[in-house]
Structure formats: C-alpha cells, structure tokens
C-alpha cells in the first residue's frame, strides 16, 4: 500500500508497525515517533469517495442512517433474545389480545353495539369516521389496533436496551405498522367506500388526477396545490414596514407604527433559521407582529437568508454575531438609549439565549427582557427529533450535506413529516388520492412548506453541540472562544410551551427554570409547536396556564406545575403583552424608520428580498 489517497507515503512494513495511541486518538508508529505527523489527523475524516457514497445512499434512505437503525434493532433483538421471561410475557400478551379479539368478533357479528377491545390514541384521527363502528370495518380496525398495541409493547421496556435505541426501534416499527393500517386500503376504509358509492367511483379518477398533479409539481419544484394563495408580501407577511439593515445572513425589518404613541422600548424578534421568518406575520388576523404594532409596540424582525452552496462554512457563531448581535446593534442605533425586549422562536430562541449569555458577561448590554416561544436550552429530552440524533446518524447527515454544502429543505421536511406520519403523510394521501378531495390550505400550512436550506457547518454544529452534547445547558457552549453560562442572564424571562409539541416538548422547554437565575414566567398553552404560538385572541378552543417564579423561589416539578396552576380560557397573547407593558417605560412618539446614519438607512419595503429566495 504505497499511497493512502495520495496523502501519506507508507510501505506495508510501516503500516504493520503502526499501533493505536490512546493519548492522541490517531495512528502512531510504535517506538518510532518521528513517523507521526500532524497531517495524519486527516485519516479521521472520511475521504470524498466515502462521503459521496453516503450522500448517494441517503437519497435512497430518506436521509436516515441504515447503520444507526441496524444498531438499534440489534440492541433490541439481542437483549430480547436473552430474556425468555420477557418473550413469555409478550407471548401471553399476544394470546390475550387474540382471545379478546375472537370474543369481540363473536359479539360484533350479532350486535353492532359491541364494546371495542382497543381504542385509538387520542391524537389518532384515522378512525374518526362513524363507519369504523360498523361490520366488517370494525373488525379490521380492532385487529389493527390490537396489533399496533402489541408491537408498541414489544419494542419498549426491554431490560438492557438503551433508551435511544428503544425509541428508534419503536419509531421504526410504528412507521412500518402504519403502512398496514386498514385506513390506507380503499376497500377496508368505510369513508373511501362511502365516497365511492356516492360518486360512482369518480373519487378515484379525481384522486389519480391529484396524484399526477403532485408528481408534476414534485418534478418541477412547484408549490403544493393552494399554497400559491399565500404569497409573502401579497397575502401573508403584509404588515407594513421597511428593511433597515442587511448583511450576508439576514435582513432586519422595522414595522411601521400604527398608533400615535408607542412604548419607548422596542421588541426585537429572532425566528428560527430553518423556516422563513413570517410565521409570526401571517395573514393579518393571525399576525403576532400586527397585534403588537396595534398595541403600540415598535417591532423589529430578523428575516434569514436562504443559504446556498457557497455558504457551507457559515456556523452557529456566525448566526449569533451576524443575526442576533448585529440585529441588536441596529435596533439600538435606530431606537437609541432604550433597552430591548428580545424574542426568540424555536431554535431562534436557543440562539438568542446563547447570545444573551455572552452579552451577560459584558459590563452593559441592551436587553430588558427575553421571551422564548417553544424554545429549548436543555436538549436531554428534546422530543422526537432525538430519534435522528446519534453519532452514526449525524455522520451520515454531515456526509449528505457535504456533497451540496447545505441540507435541502425537502430533506429536512421528510424527517419532520415522519414524526407525524398519520397526519402529515397518510391522512393527506388518503384524502387526496382515495377520497379525491384536496384539503383547503391555510396560511400556516403554506408557511410550513416554505422552508429554507441550512448550511453544512451550522447544521452540523447545532446538532452536535446542542442535541447530541447538550453543551448550552451544561456550560460548555462557547461564544467567541469563551464558555457561556445561562445563569449569568439576569433579565426577566417569559417562556411559552405548547401541550402537543413534538419538536420542543413543553416539559423540555420548562427545564429553563433549572438553568437560569432570574424571574421566569412560564405559559403552557393548547396547540402544537406552530399552532400553539400562532394563537390570536378570539378562538374559543384555546386555553392556557400561566405562573411566575421569582429569582430565589424553589423549583416546582412540571408534573406538579400542570396540576396546580389554574387554567384560563382564550389566547395567551394578551397576558404576554401585559407582561411586556409592565416592564416598559412610558409611551412616546414613534422612532424614525431606519437610522440617521449608514448602514441603517431604509433599503426597501417589507417583507424584503431574502424571504423570496428559493
């Protein structure tokens, strides 16, 4: 072996003399230190051919590492194999379910009011149609639900299996079982059969037309049907404003005042960089920005650039400096001598907290308060996204991004869709292709499909540093080369968690109380990761709980918190706006749009240019 990828010249005898050195973690010649060279560190990185192979594989595996999944299944199967008592329990469980099912069949054949032996999960809407209670569809449903329950039991609670591997196996099996649901089979789905009878099968013809339309849009890269009705700057993101600052990574939007007097202290919003910014400025009736402006607040918003291949080396710290810190600096120049209410949504909130911890080390800073919308600082239990976070999966994802310099929005959307496959995949396919009906889109659905790419370095860093190593909560995360601590943040915090959040579970968001040494007001609201935040007043189905913890108060466990804090009906927006008002100064005349000096001149009208990048 005269040449290893053209990097190191070694003979076969030299290679035989190499031995692992635990001190440096690299190959080193035993007894011949002069052979060791720093360039050998390159051996730790995959060669371009390896990465190209993995990137090609990722296209066929939807970006999921087959090695990671295989390791999880081996861990589960190997431990199950050496626990005969657990296998015996599962066998008894299967027999009990089979006998219960036979008894149900006998009763259901003679009595349509037979009591089901299995019930769907509360969030499972596949079997809501009343036809599922009628023979023979009830027999199909009960058989599937019993089998689903058994597989859920079989993939959990195996002694010795790591929690991560157990969750991965349970998730993977759930995806496979969901494909076998009778709701996916036309002649087993009563809603499909009823529609076919009513329309003489025309629904299948229309469904096939929908399928062809989707294939054409997929090939052309077009918008999903109906999403073109919600265009930024036309139907959504239309709150009046100006772009007052722009760098390579973001545009800063200042919204025009809607009142004669405004609160002196402005609001600065940092959205997540994985989607377009306007989730908080949808249609006027769903716009949090418009709500704040109408209440007399001066609002600024970051609009992130959609990265390209040339941006592959933009990292997490670039987003802190060019996004949060430069944004705060611009706001301070436009509204001088005033503290700022900073707001972060999802990962934008995590980014904001890292920046705030760095600012807290400085003698003076511009923050008056921090608000977090479904944002986490502790990633120990960071929801179902942890299923895609281990060393094997991250290496696979990095190689997938290495080829193109970024993670494509379609690659990310696939992973999110699998987390809620019943709602986001199967339910949509059934209604579009079997029932032949398009569900009418709304502004939030249109925004949800308007994702951005993520630079190679940034995506790798935040997955490794936050999700895998949990560096921010453990005090290891560095900004400008210095470790930052969340306990250094002394401004009051308002944090919002949502009950049905599968991306940032509310109990994980609540963990903020363990890592900060300041006053924290926590809100738990109905809804999910997006719908719980886009929560305008007037919806009678909304409710929330709110409680404040003083700086020196004792910690309350989330299970006790949710039991003891009273429930309130309606939207949490007014409660938050009142909280900001109490921290703000008196009202004054609105500031000018943009600054008096470069580079804070008005550049263009909102929503700017970055939001239109595809």
Residues with catalytic roles: 346
Taking the C-alpha atoms of residue 72 and residue 155, their distance in angstroms, rounded to an integer, is 11
CB 342 within 8 A of CB 493: no
Maximal C-alpha separation, the chain:
86
Give the three-state DSSP class for 206: helix
Q: Can you say whether the dihedral through the CA atoms of 97, 98, 99, 101 is positive or negative?
A: positive
Tokens of 542: 């909304």
Show Cβ contacts of residue 102 under 8 Å, excluding neighbours closer than 6 positions.
none
Tokens of 602: 């008005």
Q: Euclidean distance between the first and final Cα of the chain, in Å?
A: 47
DSSP secondary structure string for all residues of 60-80: HTTT--HHHHHHHHHHHHHHH
DSSP secondary structure string for all residues of 267-326: EEEE--TTB-GGGGSSSGGG-HHHHHHHTT--EEEEEE----GGGTT--HHHIIIIIIIH
Q: Show the beta-strand stretches assigned E in 220-339.
A: 241-246, 250-255, 262-263, 267-270, 299-304
Count how many Cα atoms sit within 13 Å of the Cα of residue 54 in the half-sphere of its side chain. Answer: 24
DSSP secondary structure string for all residues of 587-608: EEPPPPSS-SSTT-S--EETT-
Rounded to 5°, angle at Cα 463 from 461 and 468? 115
DSSP secondary structure string for all residues of 164-182: HHHHHHHHHHHHHHHHT-G
The neighbouring-strand residues paired with 49 are none
Query: Number of H helices and number of E strands within the chain?
Result: 23, 19
Taking the C-alpha atoms of residue 95 and residue 86, their distance in angstroms, rounded to an integer, is 14
Q: Give which of 246, 212, 422, 218 is closest to 326, Cα–Cα.
A: 246
Question: Phi/psi at 165 (nearest 5 deg)?
Answer: -65, -40
Q: Give which of 611, 536, 594, 548 is closest to 291, Cα–Cα.
A: 536
Taking the C-alpha atoms of residue 599 and residue 248, their distance in angstroms, rounded to an integer, is 13
Tokens of 70: 């295989």
Tokens of 358: 């760095």
Rounded to 5°, angle at Cα 299 from 294 and 300? 155
Phi-psi region of 329 (alpha: psi -120 to 50; beta: other; left: phi over 0): alpha
Helix H, strand E, coil C: the string for 132-152 is HHCCCHHHHHHHHHHHHHHHH
Taking the C-alpha atoms of residue 325 and residue 443, their distance in angstroms, rounded to an integer, is 30
């Amino acid at each position: 072996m005269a040449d290893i990828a053209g990097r190191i010249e070694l003979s076969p005898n030299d290679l035989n003399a190499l031995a692992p050195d635990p001190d440096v973690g690299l190959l080193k010649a035993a007894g011949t230190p002069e052979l060791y060279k720093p360039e050998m560190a390159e051996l730790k990185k995959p060669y371009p051919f390896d990465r190209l192979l993995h990137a090609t594989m990722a296209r066929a595996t939807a970006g999921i590492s087959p090695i990671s999944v295989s390791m999880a299944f081996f861990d589960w199967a190997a431990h199950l194999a050496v626990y005969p008592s657990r296998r015996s329990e599962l066998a008894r469980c299967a027999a009990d379910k089979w006998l219960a099912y036979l008894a149900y069949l006998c009763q259901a054949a003679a009595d349509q009011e037979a009591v089901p032996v299995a019930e769907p999960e509360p969030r499972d809407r596949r079997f809501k149609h009343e036809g599922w209670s009628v023979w023979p569809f009830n027999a199909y449903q009960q058989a599937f639900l019993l089998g689903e329950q058994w597989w859920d039991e079989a993939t959990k609670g195996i002694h010795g299996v790591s929690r991560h591997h157990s969750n991965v196996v349970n998730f993977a099996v759930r995806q496979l079982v969901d494909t076998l649901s009778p709701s996916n089979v036309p002649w087993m789905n009563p809603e499909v059969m009823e529609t076919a009878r009513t329309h003489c099968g025309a629904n299948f013809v229309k469904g096939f037309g929908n399928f062809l339309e989707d294939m054409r849009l997929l090939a052309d890269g077009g918008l999903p049907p109906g999403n073109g009705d919600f265009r930024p700057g036309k139907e959504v993101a239309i709150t009046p404003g100006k772009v007052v600052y722009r760098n390579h990574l973001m545009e800063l939007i200042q919204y025009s005042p809607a009142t004669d007097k405004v609160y002196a202290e402005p609001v600065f919003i940092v959205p997540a960089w994985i989607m377009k910014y306007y989730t908080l400025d949808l249609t006027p009736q769903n716009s949090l920005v418009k709500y704040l402006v109408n209440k007399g607040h001066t609002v600024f918003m970051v609009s992130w650039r959609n990265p390209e291949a040339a941006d592959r080396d933009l990292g997490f710290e670039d987003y802190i400096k060019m996004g949060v810190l430069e944004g705060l600096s611009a706001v301070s120049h436009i509204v001088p001598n005033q503290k700022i209410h900073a707001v972060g949504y999802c990962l934008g909130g995590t980014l904001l907290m890292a920046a705030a911890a760095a600012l807290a080390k400085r003698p003076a800073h511009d923050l008056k308060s921090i608000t977090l919308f479904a944002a986490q600082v502790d990633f120990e239990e960071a929801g179902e996204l942890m299923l895609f976070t281990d060393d094997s999966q991250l290496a696979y994802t990095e190689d997938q991004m290495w080829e193109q310099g970024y993670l494509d929005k379609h690659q990310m959307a696939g992973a999110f869709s699998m987390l809620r496959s019943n709602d986001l995949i199967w339910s949509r396919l059934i209604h579009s292709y079997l029932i032949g009906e398009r569900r009418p889109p709304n502004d939030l659905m249109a925004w949800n499909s308007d994702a951005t790419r993520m630079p190679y370095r940034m995506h790798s860093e935040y997955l490794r540093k936050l999700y895998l190593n949990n560096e921010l909560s453990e005090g290891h995360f560095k900004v400008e080369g210095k470790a930052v601590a969340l306990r250094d943040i002394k401004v009051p915090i308002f944090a919002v968690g949502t009950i049905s959040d599968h991306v940032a579970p509310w109990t994980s968001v609540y963990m903020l109380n363990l890592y900060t040494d300041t006053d924290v007001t926590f809100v738990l609201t109905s809804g999910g990761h997006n719908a719980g935040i886009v929560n305008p007043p007037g919806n009678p189905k909304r409710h929330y709980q709110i409680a404040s913890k003083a700086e020196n108060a004792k910690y309350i466990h989330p299970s006790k918190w949710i039991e003891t804090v009273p429930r309130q009906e309606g939207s949490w927006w007014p409660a938050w706006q009142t909280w900001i008002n109490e921290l703000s100064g008196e009202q004054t005349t609105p500031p000018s749009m943009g600054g008096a000096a470069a580079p804070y001149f008005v550049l263009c009208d909102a929503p700017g240019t970055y939001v239109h990048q595809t």
